[in-house]
Amino acid sequence: MDSETNIPLDPVDLRPGYTAAWRHALGSLANRDFALLWMGTNFAVTAGQMNQVARGFLVYQLTDSPQLLSAVVVAEVAPLLLLSLLGGAIADRLDRKALVMLGQIALGLNGVFIAVAVATDTITWLHLLATALVQGVAWALTIPARHALVPQIVGRRMIGNAVALAGAGMSGSILIGPVVGGALYGWFGPGGVYSVIAGMSVVAVMFTLLVKRPAADAAPVRSPMLSEIASGLAYIWHDRLVLVMLLVALAVSLLTTPLRALLPVLVVDVLDRDAQSLGLLVSAAGGGALAGSLAIASMGRTGRGLMFLIAGVASGVSLVVVAMLTSYVAAVAVLALFGLGEAGQRVLTQALIMEHAEDRFRGRLMSVNEMRLGIAFLGVLPAGLAADTFGIEGTLAVLGIAAVGASVLALATQGWLRRLQ
């Protein structure tokens, strides 16, 4: 047991020969419950990525409007901004495993609803807006619980490795899901995609159901909910590491996230491609993210603060370069770089904060991190308007230059963060 936190330490970490690089990188997967949670999460995230590709292409087919496409994207992420603090407080007082399954069940029900709407030829962009909103509410209430559950399962010493492996699994899902979603869309139409999404959600729930509930989940929390939220915000405000990392990550995310939301516009209007090509492009970002996550899982504690800042530069440069391209093959390569930077910053933000934080605050801190992602997607609406007015290429170039500037400013002024291990 960790004497400070009463969280069990992972016995695998102490085995002879564990210094071998590949065993170190995959260490947390030797923990049965983490492996089950990891599998359930990966099935859900893969289904979610298939949903994003299918929904984005379907909305643009139905409306031919970057603004309405942006509105549907924002409908899913707005609840992360509005409800994440509540979700974090709930995650610190209720059964985290059950909360994780709630999001997976919502994904499956949405898949069934859209598949039926397509089959009956009643589908409109408003249906997609409504299901995006429902899914966003579910994610806002469940994602903080999933993040907070990981340290309970693996122990403090393995948090960095477990978070990196969770990021690698997510990146693998981003690699596979869009390709599968785009291919199914091309072969069977949107109804076929959403039927598969519903089935994958059932598998995700089954894996998560097998995870043993950590003993710490049973500890009652007696403080009022608003008091819990306020204490979490006060913790962030008075903790320099958490506050600065969240602010830097927010600045970069706010400027680079519109690329993902507006990819259908880039693919159709600039690259003149179809849904399968969109899926492959999103998967390229997933491939870069997978490489970045695995690298972080195996790198130990060396230079993580500097890598966090460099990842932001890489994301910004990617937007500038992709704005100048008309070659689909070149765009695939640049999206891989974008995914590398995006995943590097996401994984390191989560790992460093969770290692640093007390367990009783982890759910709330991860909820603020998810809230950061919700704020970042607010940039999608003005970016969609700018793309309508000035074109997608100029919009992405300006956003990328600003993201590089924000990252370079942090590199120049936050010396302690550059040296953080």
pLDDT of 292 reads 77
pLDDT of 218 reads 45
Contact (CB, 8 A) for 341 and 312: yes
Of the candidates 2, 5, 3, 1, the one whose C-alpha atom is nearest the C-alpha of residue 358 is 5
Of the candidates 184, 194, 48, the one whose C-alpha atom is nearest the C-alpha of residue 112 is 194
CA distance 242 to 369: 10
Phi and psi at residue 124, in whole multiples of 5°?
Answer: -135, 170
Domains of the chain: 23-418 (1.20.1250.20)
pLDDT digits (tens, 9 = 90+) for 258-269: 888 788 888 888
CA distance 78 to 88: 16
pLDDT digits (tens, 9 = 90+) for 294-303: 777 666 666 7
- Which residue's structure tokens are 């970042």? 376
pLDDT digits (tens, 9 = 90+) for 392-407: 888 889 999 998 988 8
pLDDT band with cut points at 50, 70 and 90 for residue 421: low
Contact (CB, 8 A) for 414 and 121: no
CA distance 96 to 388: 42
pLDDT digits (tens, 9 = 90+) for 354-397: 777 776 776 677 777 777 776 777 777 788 788 878 888 888 89
Contact (CB, 8 A) for 247 and 398: no
Residue 3, Cβ neighbours under 10 Å: how many?
A: 5
* Diameter of the chain measured on Cα atoms: 61
